[in-house]
Amino acid sequence: MSLSDVFDSIEVQPWSEVVELHEALLQEQLDYVVARSDFYKAKFAGLRTSVSSLADLANLPFTSKDEIRESLLARPPLGLHVAADLGDVVQIQSSSGTTGMPTFVAATAQDIDTWNSMGARVFYANGFRPKDWVMHAYAMGRGFVGGLVNIEHLQHLGVCVIPLGAESGTERLLGAIDHLKPVAMCATPSMVSHLGSMAPEVLGKPARELSIRKISVGGEPGGGIPAIRQQMEELWGADVRDMMGGADFGSTYWAECDEKDGMHVCSQGALHVELIDPDTLESLPIAEGVSGELVYTTLRRQATPLIRYRMGDIVTVTAMDCSCGRTGYKIKAHGRADDMLIVRGVNVFPAAIKDVVMQFVPDTTGYLKIDLDFAGHSTYEALNMRVEISNTSKKSAKDLALLLEGAIRDKLTVKVVVNIVPEGAIERPGAQKEKLLERVSKA
């Protein structure tokens, strides 16, 4: 394979050489965090000397998102875990999650370069090339890392980005595609499917007659699911490839290549990846057929390094090599260990919706059900939900529903349809964990 077929030569480097590089970078990163991060100085007290190689990483405890949130609250603005001088921070992003306070992710100029290198590898593997015109249709609002940061990745690759974003709406996005004729698009699978299905109504012609021939999808499950991929490819007459990442490490670092049978690791020299059993937390070998939870350790991070960070992604290793020539192994993602929903391209957690409803007690009892009348966890329709009205409320059911719909829309940027039900209509959880989601048949 020639180097012109990948963005970065490290993608075709023998894996043994990548491991050797990671061995050296890990020691430098651990020395850095113990010296400069109060969070890790305390967390790894007495443990640093127990890690002399990648194989010893299991001697260190995991880092969780809850710990990072607590760190942010303990020492605003960037937490106890920050390791760079605040004056060296050039960008602050926010995770797309909506449970509780957002997780703020800081970056120095060097961190941005590291992120962009990973992201450019991803989009190149997905088929994008320098000078391509690319419609960016991911959500841009609320500091979502998939918005601005993906644009920076694309610019690093050398494409022409059209950053309209999901918030522009169906008509404007389709109109711009029709007028500007970009060859590529990046968006969530649900957005791609929605735009494709709406093209005949908005433009008077099917999406396959438009200019888009390359589509990179991420941010939610779907791109790697054959039936969903087939639907998108038939709608657009385009090649659709999956990618994956997360806000905590700079947006995206897994990508499908021409083979489209799993996502290559694209974070060589930036992240070390482990696989663990999510139940026992024991380390697992990265080998074909092995399934587990991904755990990440930064190797070059200055502002907010993370060591053995659990993202919650459950994956299966599908191959250790590939005919494309990339030496990074491939995975298939099964989803996150949480219950996040994606509504019109916006991430929302049931607990965040519950939080809004609780603000209307005593007019509501606080009990609710979110009715999932769609497959998976993603929809482009409004989210249907039932909320109990309290027997003591003086408001009408109609007025309360409108108040709730407006509050959820304003706080979470999600459209919902609230059906008010009488007090006692929703089963109480008792000693069991409250289940906010309920699968129902579409009316």
Region 182-190: mean pLDDT is: 91
Residue that finishes a domain, picked among 270, 304, 338? 338
Note whether 246 and 381 are same-domain residues.
Answer: no
Count CB-CB contacts under 10 A for residue 155. Answer: 16
* Listed range (146-150, 273-277, 337-341) with the worst mean pLDDT: 337-341
Residue that finishes a domain, picked among 304, 338, 372? 338
| Widest Cα–Cα separation across the chain | 73
Estimate the share of the chain in helix, then strand, then coil, as percent rounded to the nearest 5.
Answer: 35, 25, 40
- Report the alpha-carbon distance of residue 46 to residue 60 in Å, rounded: 10
Note whether 73 and 208 are same-domain residues.
Answer: yes
State CA 139 to chain mean position distance: 12
What would the pLDDT profile of 165-180 be if each residue is shown by its tens digit? 988 889 999 999 999 9
Note whether 306 and 368 are same-domain residues.
Answer: no
SS3 category, 139? coil
Better pLDDT: 93 or 421: 421
Name the residue with tokens 């391209």.
345
Which CATH number fits the domain that encloses residue 403?
3.30.300.30
Region 410-426: mean pLDDT is: 95
* Listed range (147-151, 251-255, 422-426) with the worst mean pLDDT: 147-151
Q: Is pLDDT above 90 for 262?
A: yes
Q: Is pLDDT above 90 for 41?
A: yes
Q: What whole-number percentage of the chain has pLDDT above 70?
A: 93
User: What's the mean per-residue pLDDT of the chain?
Assistant: 91
What are the CB-based long-range contacts (under 8 Å, 24+) for 222-230? 222/188, 222/189, 222/190, 222/376, 222/378, 223/189, 223/256, 224/256, 224/262, 224/263, 224/332, 224/333, 228/189, 228/193, 229/260
State CA 268 to chain mean position distance: 19
Note whether 332 and 347 are same-domain residues.
Answer: no
Q: Measured between alpha carbons, how far apart are the two ends of the chain, in Å? A: 53
Full domain range(s) for residue 368: 342-439
Give residue 313's pLDDT.
87
Name the residue with tokens 């320098």.
130
pTM of the model: 0.78
| pLDDT band at residue 3 using 50, 70 and 90 as cut-offs | very low
The total domain count for the chain is: 2
Note whether 59 and 156 are same-domain residues.
Answer: yes
Strand pairing of 291-298 and 271-276? antiparallel
Note whether 175 and 125 are same-domain residues.
Answer: yes
Note whether 7 and 121 are same-domain residues.
Answer: yes
Residue that finishes a domain, picked among 338, 371, 400? 338
Q: Is pLDDT above 70 for 396?
A: yes
Contacts of residue 428, Cβ cutoff 8 Å, sequence gap at least 6: 367
Q: Is pLDDT above 70 for 116?
A: yes
- Report the alpha-carbon distance of residue 240 to residue 258 in Å, rounded: 10
- Report the alpha-carbon distance of residue 294 to residue 29 in Å, rounded: 19
β strands within 48-122, DSSP E: 89-94, 104-108
- Report the alpha-carbon distance of residue 62 to residue 426 in Å, rounded: 38
| pLDDT band at residue 432 using 50, 70 and 90 as cut-offs | very low
Q: What whole-number percentage of the chain has pLDDT above 90?
A: 73
Give residue 338's pLDDT.
65
H or E stretch including 122? Answer: helix 109-125
Strand order of the β-sheet with 437-439 is 416-422, 383-389, 364-372, 437-439
Write down how long the chain is: 443
CA atoms within 13 A on the CB side of 429: 11
- Report the alpha-carbon distance of residue 217 to residue 229 in Å, rounded: 10
Q: Is pLDDT above 90 for 369?
A: yes
Q: Is pLDDT above 60 for 62?
A: yes
Note whether 386 and 272 are same-domain residues.
Answer: no
Q: Is pLDDT above 70 for 142?
A: no
Note whether 350 and 297 are same-domain residues.
Answer: no
Helices (H) and strands (E) in the chain — how many of each? Answer: 10, 21
Better pLDDT: 269 or 427: 269
| pLDDT band at residue 348 using 50, 70 and 90 as cut-offs | confident
- Torsion, CA 345, CA 298, CA 69, CA 40, rounded to 10: 180
Which CATH number fits the domain that encloses residue 244?
3.40.50.12780
Token code pair at residue 334? 């099964």
Residue 362, CA distances (Å) to 168, 391, 399 in order? 37, 9, 14
- Report the alpha-carbon distance of residue 314 to residue 284 in Å, rounded: 13
Give residue 314's pLDDT.
82
Q: Is pLDDT above 50 for 192?
A: yes
Note whether 332 and 346 are same-domain residues.
Answer: no
Whether a cis peptide bond, with omega within 30° of 0, leads into 362 is: yes
* Listed range (105-119, 129-143, 147-161) with the worst mean pLDDT: 129-143
Note whether 239 and 361 are same-domain residues.
Answer: no
CA-nearest of 187, 115, 109 to 153 is 115
What angle is formed at CA 208 by the lines to CA 206 and CA 213, rounded to 5 degrees?
150
Note whether 285 and 351 are same-domain residues.
Answer: no
- Residue at 217: amino acid letter: V
| pLDDT band at residue 395 using 50, 70 and 90 as cut-offs | very high
